[in-house]
Amino acid sequence: MKLKLNTWLVVFCYLAVAAPLVYLVITFFTHNLTVNPVLTAEQRSGDYAVTLLLVSLTCTPLFLITGVPVFFRFRPILGLSAFFYAFLHFMLFIWPDYGFDFPQIFLTISRKPYIIIGLGVLVILLILAVTSLKKIRIGLKKNWKTVQRFVYLAAVGAVIHYGLAVKGNLLTLRGNVLLPYTYAGVLVVLLILRIPPIEKAISFGKRRRASRKENQDMV
Amino acid sequence: MKSFASNKIYSSEITPEPIYRSRREFIKLTGLVTAGGILSACAPSVGQTTTPGTPAPTQTPYPDTLTPLDSITHYNNYYEFTISKSGVADLAKNFTTSPWDVQVSGLCNNPQTFSMEQILAMFPSQERVYRMRCVEDWSMVIPWDGFPLSQILNEVQPTSDAKYVKFTGTLDPAEMPSQQTYYYPWPYLEGLWMDEAMHDLTILATGLYGQPLEPQCGAPIRVVVPWKYGYKSIKALKKIELVANQPDTFWNTLNPSYYGFYSNVSPRLDATEQRIGESFRRPTLDFNGYADQVASLYAGMDLGINS
């Protein structure tokens, strides 16, 4: 019975990560993706990538807090979909938008250097996606965990890339800064939760043992 | 749409848009040509920018056609309402544009406040088909109705001390949701150097496609400076001040390293643009294609890449 519920939750997770893509495709073909569909799709796919990347990072803390193992089944789905939307974001930029016109792309990068950060994030996510293949994962043994830790670097880069891309001034806190700082705040919390002592303090098993001990002491 | 009372009969009231458009084909062509849109003349500079050090490639002609009204009215940067370009039309639809007046003051001999009725009566409307180039790399071609800014400035007789013109947009937090938030320094401010303000291409627009402006397009009256990035063309204009020093402007205050005061369209910044309704990018023209008319204003000035 419990296993069946988990299967449904995983199916729901797949549907949830596919929904933005379905929405993008439908709005594109029904001409509801504004009158500038390429730019809009480019921005939205980037938004989805950052959001999914942060959501994927909530899986481990949520497992630690609740002790519910299904969060570990969500984690690769969310992580791989973040890579998918980041790749879509990149492809929309270099093809329908710039038509593989590399001199133009380089000119744009010189004006908007945060694109390089985005590219770095994409490379990390690509490595993480490839190393999530079962064979490579087994081959890497203990190193796999170390490699996957780079997801935190990718998340930091993604939030910086986003914050510099939107129109605002991050230093004077004017303009469109609320969303980038919200993302940054969420990321900081997620990073803090992975600091070993804090990780131990919030973990489900630890708390259960502690509360048991407390009860015994009270008795 | 709420709008100011007007006894002017717009041609579109009796002519549907497609017919209006076909009848205006010649105006579109002559308008753009007289407005300096001779693409071939700008081609060499575009070619040089895209491939430095190599001969300019053969230019594909990029014809300018009018952007459909529906696109013009449903893709707007109007941060007073929302940062969503497709969301402005709906949020702005009940914006009160009547009664409305525009105060023209500062370093002049005859400061005045004009009601919209006075403005429409005093300054006959002309059609001006202009390219509109947004700093976000998209562009449109818009048939504005308006009159040169110089006409209203001449009414107030600027003194010789007036070196710049400062524009102030409306401050109406009750009707403009974003003006209730902290994040932007409202009201919207813009400015021009006196020579730019007096240039014939610089207009105050009150309509487009022969109809009064809709709120999302800056109703009831706005500035249009076709050779500068779109954010220089302030919407819902309330105040024009003649001043001695370069005024603060909205985007320049927010992010001075990216939004300069002059903000002339230049392919050195972004060499290509997405024309709304087209599939692929096209070259961005120096001064948005108006170099023949305005480049001389800046002769000998080093505006720098970000100015």
pLDDT score at B14:
47
What confidence tier does B183 reach under pLDDT thresholds 50, 70, 90? very high
Percent of chain A with pLDDT over 70: 92
Q: Would residue B83 count as lying in a domain?
A: yes
CB–CB contact A34 B183 (8 Å): no
Is residue B98 classed exposed, middle or buried when 0-12, 13-18 and 19+ CB atoms within 10 A define those classes? Answer: middle
Chain A CB within 8 Å of residue B278 CB? no
Q: Would residue B224 count as lying in a domain?
A: yes
Which range marks the domain in which residue A10 is found? 2-202
CB–CB contact B255 A169 (8 Å): yes
* Model pTM above 0.90: no
Percent of chain B with pLDDT over 70: 79
Residue A214 has pLDDT above 70, yes or no: no
Residues ≥6 apart with Cβ < 8 Å to B82: B88, B91, B177, B178
* Cα four-point dihedral sign B43, B44, B50, B56: positive
Over residues B249-267, mean pLDDT: 93
Counting the structural domains of chain B, the total is: 1
CB-based contact A13:A77 (threshold 8 Å): yes
Q: Would residue A218 count as lying in a domain?
A: no
Token pair for A110: 């010189």
CB-based contact B81:B183 (threshold 8 Å): no
Counting the structural domains of chain A, the total is: 1
Looking at per-residue confidence, does A162 or B31 come out higher? A162
Residue B187 has pLDDT above 60, yes or no: yes
pLDDT score at B260:
92
Q: Between A59-66 and A37-57, two packed helices, what is the crossing angle to 10 degrees? A: 30
pLDDT digits (tens, 9 = 90+) for B106-165: 999 999 999 999 999 999 999 999 999 999 999 999 999 999 999 999 999 999 999 999
pLDDT score at B300:
83
Distance, CA of B294 to CA of B285 (rounded, Å): 13
CB-based contact B140:B67 (threshold 8 Å): yes
pLDDT digits (tens, 9 = 90+) for A68-120: 999 999 999 999 999 999 999 999 999 999 999 999 999 999 989 999 999 99
CB–CB contact A107 B271 (8 Å): yes
Q: Would residue B233 count as lying in a domain?
A: yes
Looking at per-residue confidence, does A49 or B5 come out higher? A49
Helix, strand, coil percentages, rounded to 5, for chain A: 80, 0, 15
Query: Chain B closest CA to A30's CA: distance in Å?
Result: 15
In chain A, DSSP assigns E strands to 168-169, 174-175
Q: Would residue B303 count as lying in a domain?
A: no
Residue B8 has pLDDT above 50, yes or no: no
pLDDT score at B50:
33
CB-nearest to B254 from A99, A107, A174 is A174
Which range marks the domain in which residue B93 is found? 11-298
CB-based contact A80:B242 (threshold 8 Å): no
Token pair for B137: 């790399």
Over residues B45-49, mean pLDDT: 30
Chain A CB within 8 Å of residue B51 CB? yes
Residues of A in contact with B279 (CB under 8 A): 96
pLDDT digits (tens, 9 = 90+) for B195-231: 999 999 999 999 999 999 999 999 999 999 999 999 9
pLDDT score at B129:
97
What CATH number did the domain enclosing B208 receive?
3.90.420.10
CB-based contact B167:B234 (threshold 8 Å): yes
Which string of DSSP letters, residue by residue, matches A38-79?
HHHHHHHHHHHHHHHHHHHHTHHHHHHHH--THHHHHHHHHH
CB-based contact B198:B151 (threshold 8 Å): no
Helix, strand, coil percentages, rounded to 5, for chain B: 30, 25, 50
Over residues B79-105, mean pLDDT: 97
pLDDT digits (tens, 9 = 90+) for A178-192: 999 999 999 999 999
Residues ≥6 apart with Cβ < 8 Å to B305: B266, B268, B269
Q: Would residue B4 count as lying in a domain?
A: no
